């Protein structure tokens, strides 16, 4: 059974300075109605950690420990990205800086389209998946981080669609809904997204006795 001692501390630090990600998390945490105050690390003047892990899990833990060490509070971190099997899983953990500069969504999307162009044959479907790993640490040296993972499968479009969301949302197509991730409302996206799935697992962990 996972420990919930961190709930007694009253504050949970969200280890992110990504505005789009923070906005999604604030909505998700609002829906969870946690008995704690969730504070983005930027409000505590905590800069981003150096993400030198080789997996989503490693980087999520690195970010959570970093925020917890500086704040002295329990922290939760998300490491997420898009994986395309025909590219060997790329962009993967390098999704935010795929084109070189961290957080340049337009450049990252353009590079993904360029890399996929030679691999498209007669309009073949190219599968992709959004991945989110949440890591919760009660303190910086926590030997047992809690991990929650969500995977959202779809297809990669040839042309961007939609103005909502951030990151690769305009290129992520959901054939069963006939819509791109960037054409969904926040509420619609949070119900089924990789981040929404991980947060539901987090919520379920709080409800277990």
Q: What is the pLDDT of residues 29-85, one digit of tens each?
A: 888 777 778 899 989 999 999 999 999 999 999 999 999 999 999 999 999 999 999
> Is the confidence at residue 1, as pLDDT, over 60?
no
> Which whole number is the average pLDDT over 85-102?
94
In the chain, how many H helices and how many E strands? 5, 7
What integer pLDDT is reported at residue 103 of this predicted model? 80
Contact 170, 180 (CB under 8 A): yes
Pairing mode, strands 11-14 and 127-137 = unpaired
CA–CA dist 87, 125 (Å, integer)? 14
Annotated active-site residue 78? The verdict is: no
CA–CA dist 108, 31 (Å, integer)? 31
Strand order in the sheet with 127-137: 37-40, 11-14, 75-83, 127-137, 146-156, 172-174, 179-180
Indicate the pTM of the whole model. 0.89
Among residues 5, 52, 79, 115, the one annotated as catalytic is 79
Domains for the chain: give ranges and CATH numbers.
Answer: 5-207 (3.90.950.10)
Contact 208, 2 (CB under 8 A): yes
pLDDT tens-digit readout, 134-186: 999 999 999 999 999 999 999 999 999 999 988 999 999 999 999 999 999 98
CA–CA dist 68, 139 (Å, integer)? 6
Taking residue 154's Cβ as centre, other Cβ atoms within 10 Å add up to 19
Contact 178, 155 (CB under 8 A): no
């Amino acid at each position: 059974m996972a420990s919930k001692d961190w709930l007694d501390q009253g504050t949970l630090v969200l280890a992110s300075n990504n505005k789009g990600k923070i906005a999604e998390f604030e909505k998700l945490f609002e829906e969870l109605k946690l008995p704690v105050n969730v504070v983005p690390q930027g409000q505590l003047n905590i800069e981003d950690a150096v993400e030198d892990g080789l997996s989503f899990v490693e980087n999520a833990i690195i970010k959570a420990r970093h925020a917890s060490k500086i704040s002295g509070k329990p922290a939760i971190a998300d490491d997420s990205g898009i994986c395309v099997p025909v590219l060997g899983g790329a962009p993967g953990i390098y999704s935010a800086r795929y084109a070189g500069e961290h957080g340049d969504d337009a450049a990252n999307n353009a590079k993904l389209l360029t890399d996929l162009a030679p691999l498209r044959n007669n309009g073949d479907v190219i599968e992709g998946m959004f991945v989110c790993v949440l890591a919760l640490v009660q303190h910086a040296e926590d030997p047992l981080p809690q991990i929650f993972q969500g995977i959202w499968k779809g297809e990669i479009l040839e042309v961007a669609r939609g103005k909502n969301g951030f990151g690769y949302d305009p290129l992520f197509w959901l054939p069963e809904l006939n819509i791109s991730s960037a054409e969904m409302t926040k509420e619609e996206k949070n119900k089924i997204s990789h981040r929404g799935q991980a947060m539901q697992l987090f919520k379920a962990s709080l409800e277990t006795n």
